[in-house]
Amino acid sequence: MKKYKLTKKSITNIFGIKLFQIQATVSFGLVVKGELGGYIESEKNLSQVSGNAWVYGDARVYGKIKCKVGFYFGFLYKGEKIKKIKSEDGILLRK
C-alpha cells in the first residue's frame, strides 16, 4: 500500500528541477491521511512502503537522496550548525 501520492502542484527549484508536492493517502506515524507535505522530485526520493519518513512544509528532496525514516523540514539557514547523532541501529541522523 502506498503512503502518499504526488499532487499536481509543482515548483521548479534553482537548478531547474521540477518538484511535486506530496499528499498522504493513509495515516502513519504522526502523518494524517490527506495531509499535504513538502516537495519531492519523484518517488525515488521518499519510500512509499518502508518506515515513517515524511517531508514536511516547504522542505524539498531531489537528486540521489532517498528518505526511508525520519521527518524532514525546510532549509538549513546560513550559520546554522548540523549535529550528527548515531542511532542504536548505526544510522547517522542529523539534527
pLDDT at 77: 52
pLDDT at 15: 87
pLDDT at 1: 83
Compute the distance between CA of residue 43 and CA of residue 5 in angstroms, rounded to an integer. Answer: 9
* Residue 77 DSSP code: P
pLDDT at 95: 43
> Cα-atom radius of gyration of the chain, to the nearest Å?
14
Indicate if the alpha-carbon torsion angle 18, 19, 20, 26 is positive or negative. Answer: positive
| This prediction's pTM | 0.69
pLDDT per position as a tens digit, 17-71: 999 999 999 998 889 999 999 999 999 889 898 788 899 988 999 988 666 666 5
